[in-house]
Structure 1
Amino acid sequence: MRVVSTPVAPRWAAGILFLAFALAFGPAPAAEPEQLDPERVVRSVVGIRAVVPPDSQSARSLGTEREGSGVVIDGSGLILTIGYTVMEASQIQVTAADGRSYPANMIAYDPVSGFGLLRAELGFQAPWLRLADSSAVKEGDTLLALSGGDGRGAAAVKLVSKREFAGYWEYLLDEALFTFPPIRAFNGAALVNREGRLVGIGSLLVMEAMEGRGLPGNMFVPISALEPILADLLAYGRRQEPARPWLGVTLREEMGRLMVEKVSPRSPAESAGLRPGDLIVGVGGQRFSGLADFYRKLWGLGPAGVVVPLEVMRGATLTPVPVPSADRVRFLRLNPTL
């Protein structure tokens, strides 16, 4: 089921939200200690527009004008979103449920989880959502996915899988949340449980929400990935632990090997001479069983700055390629106005 309205008034949307939950769960028991407040949930989800300078690294792959959603998570206008929507933005605007827009500043980005944090300005006010224990949700649970902005809407979805997720851009979650049916306005969308608490933040449209089933859906980053690092993000703008080594490659699994599809300009991989079409077959003298195993072995070599000894197949030739790794964040213009 999907219900969308553009633009949407909070009370009218609250009725849609109530209907979505009623269809998914049936009437809530009267003795339930905490019940959903539909209007509060609707008003906590905002739309986000970001403008990114064309010479930024991420502009090549993500574009210079981006739209998505975010969720207010405290009373001071702190908004949680998926970081790629606002990464390297020079201008950010958030749109509340009543259609009013406000400027916002990016205050943190975490490449490990993928989360980004904004703070809205100039009188922005909205209810905030409490954070859920995302480890408590189970496969088969019905949840609600909400998007803001021009794609504002609510959809009842089912959690069909909890499993690790390895992204081709040097990204790995030990456990991600996969839902069905897919929603189109997924980036930064809120995944909410029946008590109106935030379970996850939308990241991707995926072709296999259930492994081996070819069932399309969405991947959400679980909110449990935020809680251990939130204090660091608020105080320093990033987590306070040694950065992982970053190469700057886009990879694709191919028959137990990893093919280099793209090499980021000015990245460690480019400096070391890696090129599209290379097949990575070993790292640090070890073989690996897939993308996730490769990342774990790569990051196990040490913090950013460590030289990563790759074994690369070029045609029929096995070539050693040492790559002096780097801190990924240092290659991003997270404050383009400076």
Structure 2
Amino acid sequence: MQRKVISSRGLLLAAALAALPVAVSPAAAQTPLRQVPETRQEISLSFSGVVKRSAGAVVNVYGARVEKQPRNPFMDDPFFRRFFGDRGFGVPQERVQRSLGSGVVVDASGLVVTNNHVIEGMSEVKVAFADKREVEATILLRDPRTDLAVLKLKSAKDLVAIELADSDKVEIGDLVLAIGNPFGVGQTVTQGIVSALARTQIGVGDAQSFIQTDAAINPGNSGGALVDMQGRVIGINTAIFSRSGGSHGIGFAIPAAMVRVVVESAKSGAKTVRRPWFGARLQALTPDVADGLGLDRPAGSVVAGVVEKGPAAEGGLRRSDVILAVDGVAVDDPESFGYRFATRPLGGTTTLTVLRGGKRVVLPVKLVPAPELRPREAITLGGRSPLAGLTVMNLSPAVAEELALDAGTDGVVVGEVEEGSTAARIGFQKGDIIQALNGERMDTSREVEAALKERRRAWEVTISRGGQSVTSVFPG
């Protein structure tokens, strides 16, 4: 700090000026005077109070899966066995895959929220607290659509749960803290602001509207808490934008409104998240279409198709309508609409603001779960065919909703792909829709199973993935 020296003549002049009357404007009179901080409490600015209220509920999540390596084929030869012995080659070797992330205790009964990708494929999960306690956990619910999972601690004592805030009230510029376990070094707190809201097209799950923050988020922070200045969770940290793998000041968190939906489903004992069913297919509004409709910007979702007798159809929605808002909140694209609609509570009604024929109309849509109009009849396929290792199911609105498939899709859907199977090596994926085998249309899982009983030299398989149909030929 620089010190200024003032002469005695300067002091006399200042005193004389101070005695003169001064005209003060009303605006200046209302401006509060800035004072120099005088005490240690006034000088120090700390987030320690917020951390103390919330950090105890943020945990480390460890996942592990034991994989058996195949037996070394050379050890079947007596020559190799004579010179090298067993040395562990005679039995399948085990390899342990591990995953490390963060989690948040959201209920004192022992419920922990984390990212689905943290515990994906893991058979053993443990939770470690900041005070070094370790507790085993079971997986109650996985939701790949939102990249969230809910764990249940096997022994829950003296737990500190953290409150889920109303993420719809979060504003750009709000101060936030990110709490997690980056790089596995231990619990760490970083500070920043909310940089943006309603970010979509992030590539993590669907039905999302992410909170963007510049608080440092690094590998291992996944599943950790993004908290406000009251120590409440406004989001679950899930992804970063990075070219190097480290934090570049662009992190994304799943809003607490979506977290609450997943947690409530887990509390109800459901194995899947129960969401409202819309019953329509949407497309993004292009600049050309927006200009033709007289809109000043391409914000909204175009209805590309409506399922007969679905909630959208019963609410009066039509093909080519443009959805602009849900319950008065603007939605700029199908992803933000999906998030806003999915976070509405079941059993009520939501209102959609729709542009139709140049006029805005408000339509009510019932919030009901997707029905399972026919049994799933899940069948795991075996034998010598390119589909061996697939678990296939009959399609229904409920199944389509769970797997985030387009409304009105026809065919037989792949529910699971067995690791290491023929189908996995070929490249089949969960959510693929088998439409035809050898030119014959497939409508049920039983039809697929029956068709594969025939021995053939080649199989012609038509599948739909991401709205695109592809036909390939595989050897029998």
**So what's the TM-score if we normalise by structure 1?**
0.57
For the 8 Å contact 1:182–1:205, the answer to whether it is kept is no
Counterpart AA for 1:302? G
Q: Secondary structure at the match of 1:128?
A: coil
Which residues of structure 2 form unaligned runs of 5+?
1-40, 69-95, 279-303, 306-332, 339-403, 414-432, 436-460, 467-476
Of 405, 408, 430, which residue of structure 2 is paired with 1:302? 408
Counterpart AA for 2:222? N
Q: Secondary structure at the match of 1:231?
A: helix
For the 8 Å contact 2:261–2:273, the answer to whether it is kept is no
> Counterpart of 2:25?
none
Out of 227-236 and 106-115, give the one that drifted further: 227-236
What are the within-5 Å matches in structure 2 for residues 111-190 of structure 1? 111-148=144-181, 150-168=185-203, 171-184=205-218, 185-190=220-225
> Counterpart of 2:239?
204
Q: CA deviation at 1:240?
A: 3.0
For the 8 Å contact 1:308–1:325, the answer to whether it is kept is no
Counterpart AA for 1:188? G
Q: CA deviation at 1:164?
A: 3.2
Counterpart AA for 1:47? N
Q: CA deviation at 1:77?
A: 1.2
For the 8 Å contact 2:143–2:273, the answer to whether it is kept is yes
Out of 89-98 and 149-158, give the one that drifted further: 149-158
Of 68, 93, 111, which residue of structure 1 is paired with 2:126? 93
For the 8 Å contact 1:81–1:116, the answer to whether it is kept is yes
> Counterpart of 1:72?
105
Query: Deviation digits for residues 108-129 of structure 1, max 9, x if unmatched?
Result: 1112221111111234432100
Q: CA deviation at 1:67?
A: 0.5
> Counterpart of 2:272?
238
Counterpart AA for 2:408? G
Higher-RCO chain (CA-CA 8 Å, sequence separation at least 6) = 1
Q: CA deviation at 1:166?
A: 2.6
Alignment partners' CA distance in 2, 1:325 and 1:303: 11
Of 42, 47, 65, which residue of structure 1 is paired with 2:55? 42
Which residues of structure 1 form unaligned runs of 5+?
1-18, 28-35, 56-62, 209-213, 245-282, 285-291, 310-320, 327-338
For the 8 Å contact 2:50–2:229, the answer to whether it is kept is no
Alignment partners' CA distance in 2, 1:118 and 1:154: 23
**Greater strand share, structure number:** 1
**So what's the TM-score if we normalise by structure 2?**
0.42
Counterpart AA for 1:201? I
Counterpart AA for 2:231? G
Q: Secondary structure at the match of 1:130?
A: coil
> Counterpart of 2:257?
224
| Identical amino acids, percent of aligned pairs | 22
Q: Secondary structure at the match of 1:51?
A: strand
For the 8 Å contact 1:186–1:218, the answer to whether it is kept is no
Q: Secondary structure at the match of 2:132?
A: coil
Alignment partners' CA distance in 1, 2:65 and 2:125: 9
1:323 maps to 2:463: yes
Alignment partners' CA distance in 2, 1:42 and 1:192: 10
Q: CA deviation at 1:243?
A: 9.8
Q: CA deviation at 1:182?
A: 2.6
Q: 1:41 to 1:294 in 2, by over 3 A?
A: closer
Alignment partners' CA distance in 1, 2:122 and 2:277: 22
Counterpart AA for 1:226? V
Q: Secondary structure at the match of 1:129?
A: coil
> Counterpart of 1:51?
64
- How many matched pairs? 227
Q: CA deviation at 1:175?
A: 1.2
Q: 1:308 to 1:301 in 2, by over 3 A?
A: farther
For the 8 Å contact 2:199–2:212, the answer to whether it is kept is no
Counterpart AA for 1:116? A
For the 8 Å contact 2:434–2:462, the answer to whether it is kept is yes
Q: CA deviation at 1:174?
A: 3.7
Alignment partners' CA distance in 1, 2:166 and 2:207: 17
Alignment partners' CA distance in 2, 1:177 and 1:71: 17
Alignment partners' CA distance in 1, 2:213 and 2:224: 12
